[in-house]
C-alpha cells in the first residue's frame, strides 16, 4: 500500500485548479527538455496533487510542439503515482453531443514526428499498449464527472490527430468508419509515455463540438470551441474534487506500476550510460 499523488494534465479549457491547498508553482527540470510550464503542487485534503497545464499558462504551445516527454518525466520526478489527463475533444458520434464527457479506454495514434518513447538506442524497451488506460482510475474519473453534474460516456476510442488544423470532412468520415468516438490532438504520445513511466493513466474528454462529419452543420470554429470549453471546464474542476474525495485512503498497488519488469530488452553490457542517466526517473526502479 502507498499514498496517492495524483498528477493532472490540464488541456484546453483547464489551466488551473483553484481548490488546491498549500499551492505553489515549482519548476521541475527534465533531461528531456523543458516541460510546458511549472508544476502547481498542492493538496486537496490528504491527497497530494501535481497540476501541469499541457499548453502552458495562456495556451501558448500548439499541440505538435508540446514536449510530452518532458511533461511526463517532470510529473514522475514530482512524485506522481497516477496521471489524469483532461482534454477538450471533438465528437465523432451523434450521441456524444457538445457538453458531454467521455472517459476514453482506447486510442488510435495518427500523430507524426513526435518523440513517442523515453527509450532508444542504448536502452530499448517495449511496453504493452493493448489496454492503454488504467481501469481503476478511469472508473474513479467517470464517477467523479457524474457526481460533478456532468453527463459522461464510460469508454470510447480517442483518435489522436496531428493538428493544429482541424480535420477535413473526408478524414472525419474516415475516422468514424474506423470506430473512433472522439478526436483530439494531445493524448498521444502522452498515454504511451505514462505507460513507460509506470504511471497509470486515465483521460476525461470534454466534448466541445461535432468535428465536421455532420454535413448539415457548419465547420468547427475556435469561438464555438472556446465557449463550450468554459462550460466544460467548470464541471471538470468540480470532478477533480469529487475524484479526490472518493479515492481510498491507501493506494493499492496496480499492475501498471511494474510494467517495465518485463519490458527491457537491451543486454546490461550494451546499455548506454548516458541514456540510463536520462532514464533515472521514469525507469530508475529497474535500471
Give pLDDT, residue 20: 85
- Which residue segments constitute the domains of the chain, with CATH numbers given? 85-278 (3.40.50.1580)
Give pLDDT, residue 90: 94
Closest C-alpha among 106, 20, 36, 116 to residue 74: 36
Give pLDDT, residue 32: 98
Task: With a cut of 70, list the residues of the chain below it in pLDDT.
Answer: 1, 12-16, 217-225
Closest C-alpha among 84, 46, 56, 82 to residue 239: 84
User: Which residue is listed with cell 488510435?
Assistant: 108
The span from the CA of 13 to the CA of 186, in Å, is: 13
Give pLDDT, residue 241: 93
The partner residues of 154 in beta bridges, in order of sequence, read 103
Give pLDDT, residue 15: 61
Q: Which three cell numbers stand for residue 35?
A: 516541460
- In tens, the pLDDT along 15-35 reads 667 778 899 999 999 999 999
5-10/152-154 β-pairing: unpaired
Verify whether residue 211 is a known catalytic residue: yes
Which member of 73, 209, 261, 280 is catalytic? 209
State pTM to two decimals.
Answer: 0.95
Is the distance from CB of 282 to CB of 72 less than 8 angstroms? yes
Which member of 181, 211, 257, 280 is catalytic? 211
Q: Which three cell numbers stand for residue 13?
A: 479549457
Give pLDDT, residue 2: 83
Amino acid at each position: 500500500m502507498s499514498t496517492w499523488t495524483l498528477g493532472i494534465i490540464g488541456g484546453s479549457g483547464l489551466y488551473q485548479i483553484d481548490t488546491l491547498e498549500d499551492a505553489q508553482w515549482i519548476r521541475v527540470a527534465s533531461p528531456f527538455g523543458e516541460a510546458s510550464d511549472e508544476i502547481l503542487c498542492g493538496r486537496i485534503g490528504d491527497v497530494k496533487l501535481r497540476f501541469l497545464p499541457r499548453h502552458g499558462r495562456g495556451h501558448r504551445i500548439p499541440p505538435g510542439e508540446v514536449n510530452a516527454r518532458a511533461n511526463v518525466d517532470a510529473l514522475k520526478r514530482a512524485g506522481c503515482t497516477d496521471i489524469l489527463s483532461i482534454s477538450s475533444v471533438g465528437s465523432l458520434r451523434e450521441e456524444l453531443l457538445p457538453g458531454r464527457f467521455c472517459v476514453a479506454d482506447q486510442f488510435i495514434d495518427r500523430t507524426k514526428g513526435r518523440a513517442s518513447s523515453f527509450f532508444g538506442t542504448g536502452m530499448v524497451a517495449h511496453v504493452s499498449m493493448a489496454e492503454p488506460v488504467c481501469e481503476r482510475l478511469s472508473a474513479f474519473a467517470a464517477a467523479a464527472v457524474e457526481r460533478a453534474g456532468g453527463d459522461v460516456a464510460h469508454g470510447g476510442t480517442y483518435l489522436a490527430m496531428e493538428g493544429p488544423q482541424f480535420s477535413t470532412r473526408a478524414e472525419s468520415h474516415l475516422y468514424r468508419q474506423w470506430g473512433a468516438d472522439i478526436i483530439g490532438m494531445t493524448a498521444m504520445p502522452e498515454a504511451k509515455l505514462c505507460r513507460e513511466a509506470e504511471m497509470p493513466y486515465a483521460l476525461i474528454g470534454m466534448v466541445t463540438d461535432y468535428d465536421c462529419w455532420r454535413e448539415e452543420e457548419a465547420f468547427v470554429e475556435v469561438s464555438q470551441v472556446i465557449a463550450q470549453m468554459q462550460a466544460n471546464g467548470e464541471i471538470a474542476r468540480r470532478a477533480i474534487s469529487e475524484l479526490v474525495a472518493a479515492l481510498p485512503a491507501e493506494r493499492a498497488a496496480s499492475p501498471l506500476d511494474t510494467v517495465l519488469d518485463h519490458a527491457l530488452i537491451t543486454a546490461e553490457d550494451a546499455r548506454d550510460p548516458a541514456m540510463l542517466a536520462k532514464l533515472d526517473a521514469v525507469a530508475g526502479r529497474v535500471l
